[in-house]
Amino acid sequence: MNWLEKLKENDTARRVLVFVLLGIVLYLLRSMIDLILLTFIFAFLVTRLENVILKRIRIPRKLIVIVLYCLVAMFLYVAIVHFLPILIDQISQLVDSLVKIYNNPSDNKIVQWIVGFLKESNIQKYLQTGVDFIIASLSGIGSVGLSFFLALILSLFFSLEKERVTSFTGQFLTSKVGFIFKEAAFFGKKFVATFGVVLEAQLMIALVNTIITTIALYLMNFPQLLSLSIMVFVLGLIPVAGVIISCVPLVLIAYSVGGFQDVVYILITVVIVHAIETYILNPKLMSSKTNLPVFYTFIILIFSETFFGVWGLIVGIPVFVFLLDILDVRNSEDIQKRTIFGRKKKVD
């Protein structure tokens, strides 16, 4: 067992081995990736809401969890009973309208150019993937719906028994293979500190973008407003590319509804939304590490979509930022801050 003792003493080799083992485990569990990611997202968001509420109101933590999940249950009931039939009908009408425009473009050169560009690029593939994701998510009984329900239940049990779960999991740190769990805990903390925070910020950015875009669509009397809002929100979860991709169907619908004038209004709205995301929301919500070059952003999205499907478009950037954090890759701002902080600390 000399090799095991040497492995325990070598921090780098031990960390690399555990990272590879975690990668293999996730690969073997790839069929459950929906359940794993949704459970993590729900548990992370509930924990963040708990902390925000506890800072303002001193009430039992479990009571907050119960109230939050009761609100979620009420929202799901109203959404399924009242809005789901309307939404499915609107999505069908929206898809039919886009297919008609796509197959029979008008004589306008701008519309013909957009349709031609769609046929020659991968944006059509992303749009189809996004529509499939929305329809699958809103279907009554399906794998995504089942994963969503199970993730809610698992995150509820985790939130209610967080202290017991943490205490029980901590026992593995002192076991015979404790060094593996210590490294797994290290990666877990990094994952929450990067992946979770970036994904939360992207959710907030997508929500703000959706609100602004929906107001503009309402003022322009767009049809199928509910389905368009959900499409904008889902595509808004894709960093940078989401705003551009959502612009294509909106422009086509704008031209069919109000002609060239509405197309101009939509383009102005997209520019405003992109400016708010780039210059206001990203600097406030995102870490400096996420200021990736656009070239890197699109390369990551292309590869992550190829390997992980629809989830890759949403989690590709957060996973890449997590890997940057693991490898301790820092930009000039981080290095400068560290240097300044280090000097101050030495002076003190």
Q: At residue 332, does pLDDT exceed 70?
A: no
So where are the chain's domains? Answer: 7-173, 176-329
Taking CA atoms, 337 is separated from 32, 49, 60, 279, in Å, by 40, 29, 38, 21
Q: Using CA atoms, how far apart are residues 180 and 172, in angstroms rounded to an integer?
A: 9
Residue 154 has a pLDDT of: 92
Residue 274 has a pLDDT of: 78
Residue 189 has a pLDDT of: 87
Residue 147 has a pLDDT of: 79
**Cα 176–Cα 178–Cα 181 angle in degrees, nearest 5:** 140
Taking only the tens place, the pLDDT of each residue in 312-330 is 777 888 888 888 888 777 6
pLDDT-derived band at 339, boundaries 50, 70, 90: very low
Taking only the tens place, the pLDDT of each residue in 125-171 is 555 555 555 555 555 445 666 778 888 899 999 998 888 998 898 88
More confident residue, 81 or 149: 149
- The torsion angles phi and psi of 79, rounded to 5 degrees, stand at -65, -45
| The dihedral formed by the CA atoms of 311, 313, 317 and 322, expressed in degrees to the nearest 10 | 20
Residue 141 has a pLDDT of: 45
Residue 227 has a pLDDT of: 76
More confident residue, 309 or 179: 179
- pTM score: 0.69
- The torsion angles phi and psi of 240, rounded to 5 degrees, stand at 60, -60
Six token digits for residue 118: 């769609």
Taking only the tens place, the pLDDT of each residue in 200-218 is 788 888 888 889 888 988 8
Residue 87 has a pLDDT of: 66
More confident residue, 241 or 195: 195
Per the prediction, the chain carries an average pLDDT of 75
Taking CA atoms, 171 is separated from 95, 160, 162, 165, 178, in Å, by 53, 20, 15, 10, 9
Taking only the tens place, the pLDDT of each residue in 22-72 is 888 888 887 788 788 888 888 888 888 888 888 888 888 888 889 989 988
Q: At residue 123, does pLDDT exceed 70?
A: no
Percent of the chain whose predicted confidence (pLDDT) is above 70: 71
Percent of the chain whose predicted confidence (pLDDT) is above 90: 2
Residue 109 has a pLDDT of: 60
Q: What is the amino acid identity at position 133? A: F
Residue 140 has a pLDDT of: 43
Q: At residue 335, does pLDDT exceed 60?
A: no
Residues 6+ apart with CB under 8 A from 192: 44
Q: Residue by residue, what is the 3-state secondary structure of the chain?
A: CHHHHHHHHCHHHHHHHHHHHHHHHHHHCHHHHHHHHHHHHHHHHHHHHHHHHHHHCCCCHHHHHHHHHHHHHHHHHHHHHHHHHHHHHHHHHHHHHHHHHHHCCCCCHHHHHHHHHHHHCCHHHHHHHHHHHHHHHHCCCCHHHHHHHHHHHHHHHHHHCHHHHHHHHHHHHHCCCHHHHHHHHHHHHHHHHHHHHHHHHHHHHHHHHHHHHHHHHHHCCCCCHHHHHHHHHHHHCCCCHHHHHHHHHHHHHHHHHHCHHHHHHHHHHHHHHHHHHHHHHHHHHCCHHHCCCHHHHHHHHHHHHHHHCHHHHHHHHHHHHHHHHHCCCCCHHHHHHHHHHHHHHHHC
Residue 113 has a pLDDT of: 63
pLDDT-derived band at 290, boundaries 50, 70, 90: low
Q: At residue 346, does pLDDT exceed 60?
A: no
Six token digits for residue 320: 């890449």
